[in-house]
Amino acid sequence: MKKVHVFNAGPCLLPQVAIDHAIEALKDFSGTGISVLSISHRTKEWDAVMDECRALWKELLHIPDTHEVVFLGGGASLQFLYVAMNYLEKKAAYLDTGVWAHKALKEAQGIGDAYAIACSKDKNYTYIPKGFEIPADLDYLHITTNNTIYGTEIHEDIDCPCPLIADMSSDIMSRPVDVSKYDLIYGGAQKNVGPAGVIFAIIRKDSLGRVSRYIPTMLDYRTHIDKLSMFNTPPVFAIYVMNETLKWLKSIGGVEAIHEINVRKAKLLYDEIDRNSLFVGTAEKEDRSLMNVCFVMAPGHEDLQDEFFAFAKERGMVGIKGHRSVGGFRASLYNACSEEDVQALVDCMKEFENLKK
């Protein structure tokens, strides 16, 4: 079988051991003789998976007892509404760093007074705004820590005088995070921690119940904390695979270890982009994402784009086409993407350059 190197922006490449265990669970879940697709979520065998998955989240991210983890359906886009419903009372600010950050802001504006505190759209979202003042009286500041389309990332936990909420869909579990600084961290699983179909939310428990509006039962985070993420039938298979993915992450040394690997992977590819005469990066260097490396053909070589796509595809590179709104190339280096995969892409870029000299 031809070797392929997967750089898809999502759903992500998953560790092979998680896939293998999922295949077995499709046939027989935990010795029950029932497929995980058919198992009742009201069984002790499923309770064990939920308990283990929550415990792994808490262990890997060092989540304090002040916070709880819940798993929900609906995707991170639905969480844009959850956030505003549960936290927006008077005024909230959003750091507008890309398409998803802007969509989150739009949902909040449908609920109440929300505005962009800073925005990088003036340069096509190729940098993270800095130096803006954060009012202490905000209900919350919302940030999107990694911007998949434009390849920018907030690399540090910012100090914030008001409650801080973060969409970490595409960099959760890729680097250490000081969870205590956040009232809420949420995101879709399908970038680093599992398949599409489930979201995670890490919630400071005493941050809830502060809005005066009625919150529909399903949109109230307290509902899902109280019912241990099983108020209604959870996305069972997606959670099972998430649990297996987190077990793999723990086995290789956890978040701290994968962060070191991710730094090496990103440096390897960015160094080649900066060296290679045919390519140029699009994000400001200080804000470059470790997860989504975006680049284009260098000026004067734009006509080679389609040829490089074909060249790379022939050598097994999958998923390097940039988002349709920006074009060019994007290699997503999520946790399960190996250093060998990245080296293969670098070698491909070098080979193409040598052919064009």
Other CB atoms within 10 Å distance of the CB of residue 318: 14
Tokens representing 306? Answer: 């389609």
Work out whether strand 329-332 and strand 292-297 pair parallel, antiparallel, or are unpaired.
Answer: antiparallel
Residue with tokens 């595809």: 313
Residue with tokens 């939920």: 50
191 is catalytic: yes
CA separation for the pair 149, 166 (Å, rounded): 17
Phi then psi for residue 40, to 5 deg, are -75, 140
DSSP annotation string for 285-323: GGGB-SSEEEEEEPTT-GGGHHHHHHHHHHTTEES-BPP
100 is catalytic: yes
Kindly tell me the sign of the dihedral angle through the C-alpha atoms of 147, 148, 151, 157: positive
DSSP annotation string for 213-245: S---GGG-HHHHHHTTT-SS---HHHHHHHHHH
- 265, with CB counted inside 10 A (0-12, 13-18, 19+), is buried
Tokens representing 348? Answer: 């491909």
Residue with tokens 């309770």: 47
CA separation for the pair 343, 270 (Å, rounded): 11
Q: Which of 157, 167, 171, 341 is catalytic?
A: 167
Amino acid at 138: L
Q: Which of 100, 139, 183, 265 is catalytic?
A: 100
167 is catalytic: yes
Q: Which of 183, 191, 248, 341 is catalytic?
A: 191
Amino acid at 336: A
DSSP annotation string for 135-146: -TT-SEEEEESE
Contact criterion met (CB below 8 Å) for 298 and 331: no
Tokens representing 232? Answer: 């209604």
Question: Using N-to-C axis directions, what is the helix angle for 305-314 and 339-356, rounded to 10°?
Answer: 130
Judged by DSSP in three states, 331 sits in strand
| Active-site residue set | 100, 167, 191
